[in-house]
Structure 1
Amino acid sequence: MSRLSVNGVDLYYEERGEGIPILGVHGTPSSAVMWADAAEELALHGRCIIYDRRGFHRSAPPAPFATLDLVDHVDDAAGVLAALHAGPAVVIGRSTGGLIAIELARRFPDKVKALVLLEPALFTIDPEADAWARSLRLRVLERSAGQPGLAAETVIRESLGDATWESLPEDLREMFAGTGHAVLAEINGHGMDLSEDALELDEDKLEGIRRPTLIVSAEESPEACRLVNARLSGALPFTRTVLVTGGHIINPAHPAVLDFVDGIAASKDAWA
């Protein structure tokens, strides 16, 4: 079990492979546990680093955080790369992790070689998606009042459907339930996808993210996710898009992602 002290917090991380750095940023609610199989495959294409974000699973402190802000997660991602001397990296972000990846590329462009966005949770970019996220936020707060352990379950049931939650093995349900405090801390924090003041990026700010970007959508995901991806594909300057089968929990080691990573590794300038 490897750990790093970054920005005053103790983070669990795993590292495997060699070559171009690849940083995986998990969603909410989640953990690097959900990336274990993908990390094995990604490690055949580069130096793969995955970690539990602050407050989540093996990076949860003894006393839960009251709030978690987007700036915390972005600074931590930058700190992980710096501590491991691993930048610039191909940053793969799924859902909330994609939101963090976007802001990492905007604030720390020197640490990002390319982006892989697996339905990033930048819901404010589209009015319908924003309304969907704000409704989800209220439902999570209502149903988890006094019961933090229900927060993660509610997010999954409300956004991905009851069948998705019920299909999870018991150990994963327990892991997700344990992230409830972190889920609520993000909702009560600033800049996160379900925060009251979620991050807003206009076209000028997105235009400034001049890194090659793969945007991945899934056929069975919530409509809000596809709306976000459609907007991003028109706003980010160097993008390619792909539609894959399945739902929102997109495989970070999908063949389209591996092909993209290999292309970046082979490129001398990576469009930068």
Structure 2
Amino acid sequence: MASTAIASSRGSKIEVTLPNKQARLLAVACSGAASMLNKVSYPMAEMELRGFGKSRVEVDRFDLASYMSDFDAGIRQTKMKNSVLLGYSHGGYFTTMYALRNPSKVSALVLIEPALFTERAELEHRAVLAEKGDGVGAIKAMLRYVDRETGLDEDRSAAEAKKITDHAQSSVTIAQELRIRAENPISERELGELKMPVLLIGGTESRVADMVIRAASCIPYASVSWVRGAGHLDLLYKPGNAKFHDRIAAVINGFMATLA
């Protein structure tokens, strides 16, 4: 049975869910990835980003270095000697940033439509909404950006946004995350410095599939897998889409086998 540990970091307590065997993957900000990707053959730990789930922020302000410290704390809990990090969407941004800053600590990356190239103006727009206390509005803006079908349907958008904000500590922590991402973009030149194997996964029907294409053109040791018919939210966020999750699990299993 999985167990939950709380790791101390810079101004935060980080929630890490550990499998009953030695972890081979650490999924970041995936909110239930292990249960959705239950056909991944390799034991998977999960780490919630600060301000989400039981990863509580204990300070008024934090910065990018705080997130990097969180990764160190989370990886220590897993006891992985060669960390393979899995990040989806905004989690993909932070896992990539950690790998760039700590290349000796990361042996490989699995990036599922990582939010690497979101325009600064878009991130700042969402941050302003969250700073005004409208965390739901900030998430609805994100949904319009990544999934128009959901984002432009008021009822569906409101329901999805509420699920996410209910999982968040506060609008303030959402706003700070968005500001940090806006102020610390990852350039194509920096992506070219990644020397570890990288698996990029995208959906053929995703509005932000171009992020996968663009990242693949920059990362030297990248392989790409496309999930036919999947939109951005289908790839990991919607737990009912088993057909997509089975496909993703199979691709991850194949990638992990090459790392042995």
Distance (whole Å) between structure 1 residues aligned to residue 161 and residue 91 of structure 2:
23
Map of 1:127 onto structure 2: none
Question: SS in structure 1 opposite 2:54?
Answer: helix
State the one-letter code of the partner of 2:94: I
How many Å apart are 1:88 and its aligned residue? 1.3
**CA 1:234–1:80 in structure 2 vs 1: closer, same or farther (change >3 Å)?**
same
RMSD of aligned Cα (Å): 2.9
The question of whether the paired residues in 2 share the 8 Å contact of 1:116 and 1:257 is answered with: no
Instruction: Find the partner of 1:73 among 50, 67, 70.
Output: 67
**CA 1:56–1:152 in structure 2 vs 1: closer, same or farther (change >3 Å)?**
farther
**CA 1:139–1:36 in structure 2 vs 1: closer, same or farther (change >3 Å)?**
same
State the one-letter code of the partner of 1:117: L
Distance (whole Å) between structure 2 residues aligned to residue 122 and residue 169 of structure 1:
21
TM-score, normalization by structure 2: 0.78
Matches within 5 A, 1:151-190: 151-159=137-145, 160=147, 161-163=151-153, 164-166=156-158, 168=160, 172=163, 175-176=166-167, 178-189=169-180
State the one-letter code of the partner of 1:48: M
Instruction: Find the partner of 2:230 among 242, 246, 259.
Output: 246
How many Å apart are 1:14 and its aligned residue? 0.7
Residues 22-55 of structure 1: CA deviation (Å, up to 9, x unaligned): 01112xxxxx53435225444xx22211122112
Map of 1:29 onto structure 2: none
The question of whether the paired residues in 1 share the 8 Å contact of 2:24 and 2:42 is answered with: yes
Distance (whole Å) between structure 2 residues aligned to residue 266 and residue 198 of structure 1:
33
Map of 1:9 onto structure 2: 12
> Within the alignment, does 1:231 sit opposite 2:227 as a pair?
no
State the one-letter code of the partner of 1:14: T
Aligned length: 243
How many Å apart are 1:257 and its aligned residue? 3.8
How many Å apart are 1:64 and its aligned residue? 6.0
TM-score, normalization by structure 1: 0.75
Matches within 5 A, 1:118-197: 118-123=112-117, 133-159=119-145, 160=147, 161-163=151-153, 164-166=156-158, 168=160, 172=163, 175-176=166-167, 178-189=169-180, 192=181, 195=182, 197=183
Distance (whole Å) between structure 2 residues aligned to residue 20 and residue 149 of structure 1:
33
Question: SS in structure 2 opposite 1:122?
Answer: coil
Distance (whole Å) between structure 1 residues aligned to residue 202 and residue 113 of structure 2:
6
How many Å apart are 1:247 and its aligned residue? 1.9
**CA 1:229–1:179 in structure 2 vs 1: closer, same or farther (change >3 Å)?**
farther
Map of 2:205 onto structure 1: 220
Map of 2:78 onto structure 1: 84
**CA 1:117–1:101 in structure 2 vs 1: closer, same or farther (change >3 Å)?**
same
Identity %: 21
- Consecutive unaligned residues in structure 2, runs of 5 or more: 238-243
Map of 2:184 onto structure 1: 198
